[in-house]
Amino acid sequence: MKETLKHAEEKMQKSLDSLQSNFGSIRAGRANPKVLDKISADFWGTPTPIPQMASVTVSEGRTLVIQPYDKNSLKAIEKAVQASDLGINPVNDGNVIRLTFPQPTEERRKELCKNVKKYGEEAKVAVRNVRRDMVDKFKAMKKSGELTEDDQKDAEKKAQKLTDKYCDEVDKAVSAKEKEIMSI
């Protein structure tokens, strides 16, 4: 029973980590190097994530500077950024590429908040699915005689407490991200 709870908690933590990762790809006016994690450029015939082929730094508050390790990949990185859904035109000066993030409009911020809520709801669903699997496992353990009925009820209460804890964590993360997006 304890191993099942521990395993479930690890899965719930992974859901929370995944949520934080998704939040990193949402740009909220400030430059965040994580927005480039999912963009790949052609590097010697292989699609390669930009952070693996260049150093990405934040200069000023809203500008990302991409400095490729190999100058020959400058054009490929520029093309990949233009083709991505970032909606930002890269500025190539021959040595580095600069991405300047504009301040999002009020409408865009509300749209971003909707995305944040959607990601939060997906994370909660994942946490609840882990709880459902746990409860099913406890029922099977009772049926096979590994647990008594009291132990099963106790285990289900612990599973619910764990679920509530991680759902609260998701709510806090969503609230913090919304606050960050809505602040100017």
**Each residue's pLDDT tens digit in the chain (184 positions)?**
778 888 888 888 888 888 888 777 676 666 677 777 777 787 887 888 888 888 888 887 778 888 888 888 888 888 888 777 767 788 888 888 888 877 777 887 888 888 889 999 999 999 999 999 998 998 888 888 888 888 888 988 998 999 999 999 999 989 988 888 777 5
Cα(41)–Cα(82) distance, rounded to whole angstroms? 11
Only one residue has tokens 């190999």, namely: 70
Q: Which residues are CB-contacts of 29 (< 8 A; sequence separation ≥ 6)?
A: 62, 101, 102, 103, 104, 181, 184
Cα(156)–Cα(135) distance, rounded to whole angstroms? 6
pTM to 2 decimal places: 0.67
Which structural domains are found in the chain, ordered by start?
2-24+105-182 (1.10.132.20), 33-100 (3.30.1360.40)
